[in-house]
Amino acid sequence: MKVFQTHQIREIDSITIQEEPIDSFQLMKRASRLFFERLITHLNQNEHIVILAGSGNNGGDALVISKLLIQIGQNCTVYLVNPKNKLSNDCQSAYNELSSLCDIHTIQTAEELTLHPSDIVVDGLFGSGLNRPLEGEYAKIVESVNQSGCKVFSIDIPSGLFGEDNSSNCHDHIINATYTFTFQTPKPCFFFEESERHLGEWEVIDIHLHPLAIERTQTPFYLTEESEIAKMIRPRGKFSHKGTFGHALLISGSYGMMGASILATKAALRTGCGLVTVHIPQKGYEIMQISVPEAIVSLDKSEKHFTESPNLTKYNAIGIGPGLGTADETLNAFHRLLEANKQPMVIDADALNLLARDLTWWDKLPQGSILTPHPKEFERISGEKTKGYNSWMKQIELSKQYKVVIVLKGAYSSISLPDGTLHINQTGNPGMATAGSGDVLTGIITSLLAQGYTSEESAILGVWLHGKAGDNAAEKRTEAGLIARDIIEELRIIKE
């Protein structure tokens, strides 16, 4: 699914109006009816509904929804918040249709708004086109809604929230919705931590914008869907053997951190790799042989950490980082590995911390390598402190510049590709915020890369499978009780 920036939504609306054809007010009515149909599933007949309408098209949506609610006998109070602003054409049309059915209270200040905690608020003050923080009476009205204790349903986007970058926004002046029903496509800001308290639970409502409009409008952002994942999975031939499915090398583990290596190795095997060799320090030998008897063990000359690479020629993919440590000898060995290896690598955990020690090493990364940082690691390797939309932009910049794939892990992990696109993952849950979860992901992605999937496929597919396994594990054990081993046990390679 394409995810569009807010200015593109307006373009898509325009193409829909032209190609369907449909006039803009009828398109507003269609979207509003679909919102209304979703809204009423959450309402009781005796509830009092307060509709807040602004003077733009989001306000027009709110007025159309008001009419639909009144027509089914719902008890509504409609406020038009209009501090001396002219209504948009479609908002004026909606106002004209509603005014014959009920009183519309035009208010200028927050003091004119009456709310009780039992009220249901439909928020239609501002839409996704807002580009500056709310202030004055608008800000006060938002504060009143947020302090009221009311359940709030936002139309398309909570009022005050920008569609993309909210780093300069005032979060105290943004509606905190209970539910957000957004039109056609989620907005980029929906995937950032800073927006969570404003969005509440959110759903996408398909308002049937023209398929040609969707196709014509280009975007760098894509939301990964299960149907796409199913198409990526390669069937296994009846006469396949272990050599058919690749040989992965995992360079991982150090004294006291062998668990990370074990988790990555088990995950690589569970994801279908034919052979997995794990290169570990000598003190990890017995631990690994007992814990993962299916793995081949390559021993470092050091007892406690990574100091040298094995011969790389027989491996189809290399993953490095889980439990590796950051000793000076390990740093030097990592540098030599980057100099010697020309095939794509999966770089995670302490390998990312080693990369952060000398950012000129970005130039040494083999094209197609996959980096899997969490936000703090991303700050270190990018050399910048970013979050939200700006992190997406930095991801894309680095992927294009160095021809690598970057998996920025989080609630909605984002995967940036060298072609400048960014793919957003929907699977996973908070229970996966547990020690070793990232090591499991490294094993999964390395396994897929060794099996012959492209770097792009390995990252997108690996992140989806990781999250899906975490969801299955949470259903069985609850989010709070989930541990990394549970994710491995729930790994399933789905078929189309």
Q: What is the pLDDT of residue 197?
A: 97
CA-wise closest residue to 264 among 17, 487, 8 = 487
CA-wise closest residue to 32 among 207, 197, 168, 166 = 207
Query: Which tens digits make up the pLDDT trace of 354-394?
Result: 999 999 999 999 999 999 999 999 999 999 999 999 999 99
Confidence of residue 84 (pLDDT cuts 50, 70, 90): confident
Q: What is the pLDDT of residue 45?
A: 85
Q: What is the pLDDT of residue 495?
A: 55
Query: Which tens digits make up the pLDDT trace of 407-464?
Result: 999 999 999 999 999 999 999 999 999 999 999 999 999 999 999 999 999 999 999 9
Map residue 268 onto helix, strand or coil.
helix
**CA dist., res. 329 & res. 220, Å (int):** 40
Q: Is the pLDDT of residue 83 over 90?
A: no
Query: Which tens digits make up the pLDDT trace of 118-152?
Result: 999 999 999 998 999 999 999 999 999 999 999 99
Domains with residue ranges and CATH for the chain: 2-219 (3.40.50.10260), 226-489 (3.40.1190.20)
Query: Which tens digits make up the pLDDT trace of 245-264?
Result: 999 999 999 999 999 999 99
Q: Is the pLDDT of residue 401 over 70?
A: yes
Map residue 385 onto helix, strand or coil.
coil
Reduced 3-state DSSP string for 408-466: ECCCCCEEECCCCCEEECCCCCHHHCCCCHHHHHHHHHHHHHHCCCCHHHHHHHHHHHH
Confidence of residue 477 (pLDDT cuts 50, 70, 90): very high
User: What is the Cα Rg of the chain in Å?
Assistant: 26
Contact 28, 229 (CB under 8 A): no
Query: Which tens digits make up the pLDDT trace of 153-162?
Result: 999 999 999 9
Q: What is the pLDDT of residue 82?
A: 84
When the pLDDT of each residue in the chain is averaged and rounded to a whole number, the result is 97
Q: Is the pLDDT of residue 90 over 60?
A: yes
Q: What is the pLDDT of residue 493?
A: 83
Q: What is the pLDDT of residue 1?
A: 94
